Structure 1
Amino acid sequence: MEVKHINIFFLYFFIEPTRLQLLINVKNQGGDVMQENITANVSEDTVTLEFLRLDGVYVSQLVDFTNEVEAMKVIIPGEEELGQSGYQTLCFLSHAAQADFIAPDAMAKLRQKNPGTVRVAEEDKGWRQSTATAWAGRATRLLSPAATRHCAPAKERVYLRAADLTRWAPRPGLDPSSPSSAVTPFPEHALITDTSDGKPAVPPCLNESDNTKECICHLELCVNWYPCGLKYCKGKPQGGLSYRCGIKTCRRCHRHQYYVRRRDACYSHT
């Protein structure tokens, strides 16, 4: 069979790697170049993508395909002018849309043709809005061992949406309405978006000047390049069979909103 190469990657199917790490030079929307580190672990059935933004925010996205869990870890440095010291680690759990990331076994077979090339995603998937409704608590351990390790530095700042709990396979301890639930819902008033006067019960942190007051924190981040699908090429006319010959790449941005008990707990770099 005649193999037609693609501009970015080859897919090798005659080897069986169990782990792969790729370093990708990626251009963001502002024209700046950052480096992404992508690791595929076939034995754990996970893919991890990580990068450091130019403002010092570290982002690490893990997808656990077996348990259908996506864990987005964010480490945010404090801003001295706002009285914030050190850094803050957050983790957001969601149900993994498996079609949005190629599987670890396919990812582990990728090889770069030109490692120094600066990449730009082929498709922009726009914004994904995620409003957390609970602290994950012990639920992380029930959902995914890989996500548990990934989110461990965030400690109690691991968030999820009640809507996603209904999408995962039922298991003891995940019912947020149960007194013994591993999940801790936000206060009821923090989940109200509309009131009689048209103002939310809990204001956005951007509109709250008192550091002791509760508010809704807002965080935006973009993954500027990731493998989101496989490409297929046609063989010679007499064969007529298609074969995997490359990958499709995408860009996705995320808006995370979550409740904090104090304004000074919101380390938000947009």
Structure 2
Amino acid sequence: MDFYHICFFLFYFFVKPTSPQLLINVKNQGGDVMQENITANVSEDTVTLEFLRLDGVYVSQLVDFTNEVEAMKVVIPGEEELGQFGYQTLCFLSHAAQADFIAPDAMAKLRQKNPGTVRVAEEDKGWRQSTATAWGGRAVRLLSAAAARHCAAARDRVYLRAADLARWPPRPGLDPSSPGSAVTPFPEHALTSDSSDGKPAVPPCLTETDSSKECICHLELCVNWYPCGLKYCKGKPQGGLSYRCGIKTCRRCHRQQYYVRRRDVCYSHT
């Protein structure tokens, strides 16, 4: 691990927010153990889950329940051998109906009887693929104040999909086709295939060798453990009422695809 990764590691584990957190030891599919931090903010109606991958990639997922916004922030360290220095912050916005986290008030009540236990999710929800169609830019502030703070470091690297825009309630400035829109669509040719052979008009960055050419970058990440539902048990025969008696836990992987104007700005860690 180089000096940069050591500094990033120390920052993550010792410079923590003051909000109460649930710290979970989680085993990934490779058998490695990582620590996840889960914070529920009842007053803002948000839940945040964050962790540091073993390759130095930091992931922070925020769900704003009131505004139905999910914001996945990813901080990717550059690879010096590829001429990438420093780090890159990305943020992917989507409609929160797919997040399937339990609500903040329920999350805030979770406690661990054995904090040192290594957790494994009960259900694997597989892969969710998302292809961005636009830069979010100023749109994130119109969608969610909490998400805007969460994604602030990403600046012009906030991405979203037209399909998700259609699911949120209409708001001034969120129509990509309107003048002065806060949303900037990707170039049209980046969203279509070459009609002559059916191949994508813009190639994947994995196959593009010219660092100055445009391409489609992809990023894969997995959230190996999160509370995705509540469990209910039946009461005694006399009462017959059910009561909350635990949580259901899930694993979900994400495959994000997005357009970049230059191959050399695609910091792709899979």
The alignment's TM-score, normalised by the length of structure 2, stands at 0.92
With a CA cutoff of 8 Å and minimum separation of 6, indicate the structure with the bigger relative contact order: 1
Map 1:1-270 to 2 at 5 A: 20-97=20-97, 100-270=100-270
Divergent runs of 4+, >3 A:
none
Structure 2: distance between partners of 1:193 and 1:119: 43
Structure 2: distance between partners of 1:103 and 1:130: 24
| Aligned-pair identity (%) | 91
Q: List alignment gaps of at least 5 residues for structure 2.
A: 1-18
Letter in 2 for 1:94: S
Q: CA deviation at 1:234?
A: 1.2
The alignment's TM-score, normalised by the length of structure 1, stands at 0.92
- SS at 1:193's partner residue? coil
* Higher mean C-alpha deviation, range 144-153 or range 195-204: 195-204
- Calculate the aligned-residue CA RMSD, in Å: 1.0
Letter in 2 for 1:45: D
Q: CA deviation at 1:180?
A: 1.5
Letter in 1 for 2:36: E
Deviation readout 1:58-102 (Å, 9 max, x if unpaired): 000000000000000000000111110010000000000267110
Q: 1:198 to 1:263 in 2, by over 3 A?
A: same
Deviation readout 1:212-252 (Å, 9 max, x if unpaired): 00000000000000000000011111111100011000000
* Aligned length, in residue pairs: 252
- SS at 1:111's partner residue? coil
Contact residue 25 and residue 33 of structure 1 kept, 8 A: yes
Q: List alignment gaps of at least 5 residues for structure 1.
A: 1-18
In structure 1, what is the equivalent of residue 9 of structure 2? none
Contact residue 124 and residue 252 of structure 1 kept, 8 A: yes
Q: 1:264 to 1:35 in 2, by over 3 A?
A: same
Structure 1: distance between partners of 2:66 and 2:198: 43
Letter in 1 for 2:221: L
Contact residue 70 and residue 99 of structure 2 kept, 8 A: no
